[in-house]
Structure 1
Amino acid sequence: MSSIVQGLTKSLAITVLSEIGDKTFFAAAILAMRYPRRTVLLGCLSALTVMTILSAVVGWAAPNLISRKWSHHITTLLFFVFGILSLKDAIFGDGDEDELAEVEEELNKDLKANNGVKKNDSKVDDDLKKKQRPFLSQFLSPIFLKAFSINFFGEWGDKSQLATIGLAADENPFGVVLGGILGQALCTTAAVIGGKSLASQISEKMVALSGGLLFIVFGIQSFFSPVE
């Protein structure tokens, strides 16, 4: 039980500090301003849940492909690398406003390419239509698929995904999955509910600094922990 709690705690902390102010966080916030929030939230959370489970499975299988000693050392190295990179972003980064503008510009291009520029009255119509549709039918809507694909591919190769793989190789995979999903749910829900105003007020430098210090702490802990 203690191993599950430890894996959950580490995964939750790393996920929250990695995802706040991330591109997928901004994307969820902007999408929620243009489309029904519930559908956007379902799409984002579905993608992030699938990604978390896949990452944990890869991490769980890693010790079967290479020795547990090497997987432990690789995980420790990942913590230090991510910590240093996060601290570097906090000190030399351009800030979250540029990243928010970049994500918004990319989404605007995608909307124009697909003739998806929405007006306020059409958004209201969409909301009314969604309320009249069965809940399960929203999983087949273009909005759900857009939110799912943006978050799934946006997370691919991200440091939170790699950290999840490393944690699952060194901690209880079940706890890592629970912590990762809970962390993703908290961040995505905040982005969808808070919208762009919340996203624009987040200090990416402070988040990166906190995340970098946390990665370093976990790296030190992993370095002095015996290999089971």
Structure 2
Amino acid sequence: MEFFIVAVTAFALILPVELPDKTFVATLVLSTRYPPLPVWLGVVAAFGVQCAVAVGAGTLISRLPERPVALVAAGLFLAGAIVLFRGARKSGQEREDQEQQEYAGRVQERRTGLRAAAASFVVLFTAEWGDLSQLLTAGLVASGRNPIPVFIGSWLALIVVSGAAVLLGRWLRKRVKLSLIRYVAAGICLVLAALTTVEALRA
């Protein structure tokens, strides 16, 4: 049961963080230039590697003294809440259009099959290092959560986000208020920051 709860927690944290993020925009742009299935497979593979690295980093951090690590993890969640809250206030069509143009510049010639998948892997793999979802994934593991369900939940969330971008990207951008999603994600981060701080003080 605990395994399932940790996986759901990771999924619920990462999904609203990444849905309005550049991850979604990058996958959407790629799917307009390349066939959707190779794009999705390449993006999913890139996310799998990044989640594994984040979980590995969190595991190494968790071996340090318990209270300082928990407080650092709480700080990561709090920083995530602040970043998301500020992003929600600044979000707008102009900013999203700029992000689309940025990624469109990286995607030039049309490709299919393995070449499209490889190009999608490279774009997401190089663009997403050190982003908020990786920091929060590492923070979950560092705060004492089981790394395996954290990896599963985080990766599933990114798989869902990339699938939504490929299949429903333009529809979602027109009908879903991204600022509201960012506020929800900020709230989740604040709750995790508070819980982790309480756990640290009890340690």
Shared fold by TM > 0.5?
Answer: yes
On the 8 A contact 1:191/1:199 being kept in 2, the answer is no
Q: Which whole-Å CA distance do the structure 2 matches of 1:59 and 1:208 have between them?
A: 24
Residue number in structure 2 paired with 1:63: 62
C-alpha displacement of 1:218: 1.1
Larger Rg: 1
C-alpha displacement of 1:166: 0.7
Deviation string, structure 1 residues 76-102 (Cα, Å, up to 9, x no partner): 1111121122122223x132x233312
C-alpha displacement of 1:34: 1.8
Residue number in structure 1 paired with 2:126: 153
Residue number in structure 1 paired with 2:172: 198
Residue number in structure 1 paired with 2:159: 185
Residue number in structure 2 paired with 1:72: 70
Q: Secondary structure at the match of 2:29?
A: helix
Q: Which whole-Å CA distance do the structure 2 matches of 1:88 and 1:78 have between them?
A: 15
On the 8 A contact 1:21/1:202 being kept in 2, the answer is no
Q: Secondary structure at the match of 1:21?
A: coil
Residue number in structure 2 paired with 1:104: 100
Paired letter, 1:8: A
Tell me whether 208-217 or 144-153 shows the greater mean CA deviation.
144-153
Q: Which whole-Å CA distance do the structure 1 matches of 2:34 and 2:72 have between them?
A: 41
Q: Secondary structure at the match of 1:225?
A: helix
Paired letter, 2:190: I
C-alpha displacement of 1:11: 0.9
Per the normalisation by structure 2, the TM-score is 0.90
Q: Are residues 1:166 and 2:139 paired?
A: yes
Paired letter, 2:66: R
On the 8 A contact 1:75/1:167 being kept in 2, the answer is yes
The unaligned stretches of length 5 or more in structure 2 are none
On the 8 A contact 2:28/2:165 being kept in 1, the answer is yes
C-alpha displacement of 1:5: 2.5
Would the alpha carbon gap of residues 106 and 85 (structure 1) be closer, same or farther in structure 2, given more than 3 Å must change? Answer: closer
> RMSD of the alignment, in Å?
1.9
The unaligned stretches of length 5 or more in structure 1 are 131-137
On the 8 A contact 1:26/1:199 being kept in 2, the answer is no
Q: Are residues 1:21 and 2:20 paired?
A: yes
Q: Secondary structure at the match of 2:8?
A: helix
Percent of pairs with identical residues: 24
Residue number in structure 2 paired with 1:88: 86
Q: Which whole-Å CA distance do the structure 1 matches of 2:199 and 2:18 have between them?
A: 27
C-alpha displacement of 1:182: 1.0
Paired letter, 2:176: I
Deviation string, structure 1 residues 107-130 (Cα, Å, up to 9, x no partner): 33234xx5x2x5xxxx8xx5xxx4
Residue number in structure 2 paired with 1:51: 50
Paired letter, 1:218: L
Paired letter, 1:210: V
Find runs of 4+ consecutive structure 1 residues off by over 4 angstroms.
Answer: none
Q: Which whole-Å CA distance do the structure 1 matches of 2:13 and 2:95 have between them?
A: 20
